[in-house]
Amino acid sequence: PGLWTTDFQQDIIGLVKEAVALEYDYAKDTMPQGILGMNAEMFQEYLYFIANRRLAQIGLPELYPGAENPFPW
Q: Consecutive 10-residue runs of the chain (73 residues): their mean pLDDT?
A: 93 97 91 79 93 97 95 79
At 38, give phi and psi (nearest 5°). Answer: -130, 145
Q: What is the pLDDT of residue 55?
A: 98
Three-class SS of residue 22? Answer: helix
pTM of the full predicted structure? 0.87
Residue 22's nearest CA partner among 49, 52, 53, 47 is: 47
Which long-range contacts (C-beta less than 8 Å, at least 24 apart) are formed by 3-9?
9/60
What sign does the CA torsion over 32, 35, 39, 44 have? negative
